[in-house]
Amino acid sequence: MTLSMQIMVVDDEETICEALAAWFAKDGHSVQIANSGAQALECLEDCLFDVYLVDIKMPGMDGLEFLAHLKEKHPDASVIMITAHGSIQTAVEAMKRGASDYLCKPFDPDELSLLMERILANRALRDENFALREQLMEQQEVVFGGFVAQSEIMRELFTHIEDVAPSSTPILITGETGVGKEMVAQAIHMHGEQAEGPFIAINCGALSETLLESELFGHERGAFTGAVKARRGRLEMANYGTLFLDEIGEISPKMQVTLLRALEEKCATRVGGSSPIETDFRLISATHRDLPQLIREGRFREDFFYRINVITLGVPPLRDRREDISALADYFLEHYIQKTGKRLEGFTQRALGILTAYGWPGNVRELRNVIERAVVIARGRMIGAEELTFLNPAAADCNLGALTLQEVEISHIGAALETCNWNISRAARQLGIDRSTLNRKLKRYNLTRP
């Protein structure tokens, strides 16, 4: 046995306690003995154990009473009840109250070892499930945290996600490239009934029609050259989970017909196969294309459009939620600081002004790449304008009109202070205002020297 456990034996017969302790020690476990329920409870004040072997018939506090006290302190404890043949009904009652199993006296030591191994395996599985759950929760936080919902338009989107997630209705996510459509799909999955199932994603625009059909439906061995073994398709893999079809506007009309039939019948037939395979999943699609326009052009089927577009969620471009830019920049900065180990303290006001004024044609994906590059090339403690020179200045200038007057003023004041090394008098002269006016604006906008 590769793993050891801490075991408590609770029995008023000392010979049984000593025999069990010797057997468990042979298997590498550590054992604590208690000759009564009361004595066992005193031990629990100091530490908890992985497994408890408890005799049902004991003077004073019996095994059932001890089990009740134990479950209050240690709900996840593995408890094995020790009973005589005539008390099996009592042991069954103990299992109803939370015991894991029971042993009848006299018991086979080898059987006891197998029972311990089974408990170890169950504990390992439970720990693995807990770790996966923690990972999912962490992933869920990244989904929302990555968006950094300071803008009203994003807070409304998150509200819509929470509203539609509990159903199994097909959802179409629209938005420009790089806005985070897959992150929205993951958020819907995590908040829905399918959260415990798989999240299967495929980029429909990255594959040819033949490859896409094989990826979606799978194939049987020998279905085509190179198909040396059978392979499950994404529709099968998504069973009891979520299937996310990204860039669905890129699939051919022929594939739309095939996929529509599979969605309607909730089954998929592998390429080269003849037997349909049932599959039940939640469908989420995404596109940056104007699907109604594609329908008018005869490039997208109207019946398929209505099948995938029961609910529509639009993800706004970054230029329409500029108040999120600085928070997103801080979020990505912290991410890449941890990844690279660099010691950076933040952005200069001038750098934040450049980031806020820029048009971001690549949206959040572009911002993330920009911050990653800035972190890599940064030489000082702050990321300044010199780390952002690769951004197109024209893209910033032409988008200043999308900023509020307050945002323009903050950006301009920050740039002046950076130029003057935060000398208030010099910055005030450069801005054409007196020192007291500048101080009032610094206080109003909560601007402080980095």
Q: How many domains does the chain have?
A: 3
The pLDDT value given to residue 3: 63
Residue 389 lies in a domain: yes
Give me the pLDDT at residue 149, please.
Answer: 61
Regarding whether 354 and 305 lie in a shared domain, the answer is: no
Residues 303 and 409 in one domain: no
Residue 384's domain spans which residues? Answer: 320-444
pLDDT at position 398, please?
43
Q: In the prediction, which pLDDT does 170 show?
A: 95
pLDDT at 224: 77
Task: State residue 244's pLDDT score.
Answer: 96
User: Are 312 and 280 in a shared domain?
Assistant: yes
Q: Does residue 252 or residue 121 have the better pLDDT? A: 252
Do 312 and 329 fall within a single domain? Answer: no
Q: Let me know whether 271 and 201 are in one domain.
A: yes
Cβ atoms of 259 and 251 closer than 8 Å: yes
More confident residue, 417 or 286: 286
143 falls in which pLDDT band (50, 70, 90)?
very low
| Residue 197, pLDDT above cutoff 80 | yes
Whether the predicted pLDDT of 439 surpasses 70: yes
Phi, psi at residue 174, to the nearest 5°?
Answer: -115, 155
Please report, as a single letter, which amino acid is at residue 334. Answer: E
Reported as a pLDDT band with limits 50, 70 and 90, residue 141 is: very low
Strand segments (E) across 84-191: 101-104, 171-174
Q: Which residue has the higher pLDDT, 85 or 236?
A: 236
Q: What is the pLDDT of residue 429?
A: 77
Listed residues 316, 345, 369: the one ending a domain: 316
DSSP 167: S
Q: Are residues 51 and 183 in the same domain?
A: no
Share of the chain above pLDDT 70, in %: 88
Reported as a single tens digit per residue, the pLDDT across 338-374 is 888 888 888 888 888 888 888 898 999 999 999 999 9
**What pLDDT score does 272 carry?**
84
- Give tens-digit pLDDT for 155-176: 889 889 989 999 889 999 999 9
Q: What is the maximum alpha-carbon separation in the chain?
A: 97
Asked if 417 contacts 427 with a C-beta cutoff of 8 angstroms, the reply is yes
pLDDT surpassing 50 at residue 404: yes
| 31 lies in some domain | yes
Q: At 20, which CATH number? A: 3.40.50.2300
Cα distance between residue 213 and residue 132, in whole Å: 31
Q: How confident is the model at residue 130 (pLDDT cuts 50, 70, 90)?
A: low
- Same structural domain for residues 173 and 118? no
Let me know how long the chain is. Answer: 450
CB 300 within 8 A of CB 256: yes
142 is a domain residue: no
Average pLDDT of every residue of the chain:
83
Confidence (pLDDT) at 407: 64
The pLDDT score that the predictor gives to residue 435 is 82
- The pTM for the full model equals 0.57
Q: Residue 188 above 50 pLDDT?
A: yes
Residue 444 is encoded by which pair of tokens?
Answer: 């109003």
Are 312 and 357 within one domain?
no
Q: Are residues 359 and 249 in the same domain?
A: no
The predicted-structure confidence for 11-63, as pLDDT tens digits, reads as follows: 988 888 888 888 888 878 888 899 998 888 888 877 788 889 999 888 888 88
Query: Residues 289, 328: one domain?
Result: no
Task: List, as own/partner pairs, every contact residues 329-333 make where C-beta atoms lie below 8 angstroms and the sequence separation is at least 24, other chains included.
Answer: 329/355, 329/367, 329/371, 331/145, 331/146, 331/148, 332/367, 332/368, 332/371, 332/372, 333/371, 333/375, 333/383
Same-domain check for residues 115 and 166: no
Per residue, the 3-state secondary structure of 409-435, as one string, reads: HHHHHHHHHHHCCCCHHHHHHHHCCCH
Q: What is residue 127's predicted lDDT score, i.e. its pLDDT?
A: 64
